[in-house]
Amino acid sequence: MNDGASAFATALALIVSGDPEFLGIVGLSLGVTLTAVLISCVVGMPLGALLAVARFPGRGALVVAFNALMGLPPVVVGLLVYLALSRSGPLGALGLLYTPAAMVIAQTILVTPIVAALTRQAVADLNAEYDEYLRALGADRVETIGTLLWDARFSLATAALAGFGRASAEVGAVMIVGGNIAHVTRVMTTTIALETSRGELALALGLGIVLLAISLGVNAAVMGVRTQAERVGHA
C-alpha cells in the first residue's frame, strides 16, 4: 500500500521539520503521560508493597481486584471521569473537564493498578527471600517496605515502563475527557485518530511511527540507566 511507504517519509519529515504545532502535541503527550505515571508510582508503589507485606482480612480479594483493574478499558475510565468532572457531575465545580489535568486523572486511574499490581508481585517475591533477615534486624513495617522497594527498584522500573506504555498508547480515555481540542488537549493518539478519520492515512501512520520512536527512546533510556546502575552496584 502506498500509505505505508509514505508514512515513514511523513514521520521523518515531521521530526525534521520541527513544526511547532507538532512539537506542541508531542510535548503535551509526554507531559500528560509522564505526570500520570509519576503520580501512579508515588501512589501505586507503596500501595503494592503494603499489599505484599501486610496481612489483613480481604487482602487476597484486594490483590485480585488490582490485578483485574490492570485490564480497565480506557474508554470506560474516560466515561467515568467525564461523568465525575462534567459541570453536572460531583466535581464539576473544579472546571477540569477538557483540560490536560482531566487527562492526567484518567491516565492515573488506568496506570495506578498496573504499577501497584506489578510492584506487589516484585516485592512479594523479594519479601519471601528477605523476611527472616529483616525480622532478625527488628525492622518495622515502614523500614521493611522501604528496604524492599529499594531492592526491587529494577523490577519497579519495569512496572513504571509498563504503566508508561499503557498511558502513552491509550486514546479512549483522553479523547473523552480531553475532547481533542487543538492546542489545548490534542495529543499524539487523538491526533492519530483524527487524521485517520480525515482519511489522511499516511500522516496518521507517520504520527504512529513517531509515537513508537518516543516509546523506544524512553525504554532505551531506562534500560541504559539500569545497566549503568547495575554495573556500579557490582563493581
Residues that bind another protein (CB under 8 A): 3, 31-32, 35, 39, 42-43, 47, 86-89, 91-92, 94-102, 104-105, 108-109, 112, 179-184, 194, 196-201
CB of 67 to another protein, least distance (A): 17
183 vs 231, beta carbon nearer another protein:
183
138 vs 199, beta carbon nearer another protein:
199
C-alpha grid cell for residue 33?
A: 503521560
Following DSSP, what letter does each residue of 83-147 receive, concatenated? HHHSTTSTTGGG--TTSHHHHHHHHHHHHHHHHHHHHHHHHHHHHHHHHHHHHHHT--HHHHHHH
CB of 141 to another protein, least distance (A): 17
111 vs 126, beta carbon nearer another protein:
111
CB of 101 to another protein, least distance (A): 4
Task: Specify whether the CB–CB gap between 85 and 91 falls below 8 A.
Answer: yes
C-alpha grid cell for residue 177?
A: 475527557
CB of 223 to another protein, least distance (A): 27
Measured CA distances, 14 to 21, 160, 169, 215, 221 (Å): 10, 28, 19, 17, 22
94 vs 161, beta carbon nearer another protein:
94
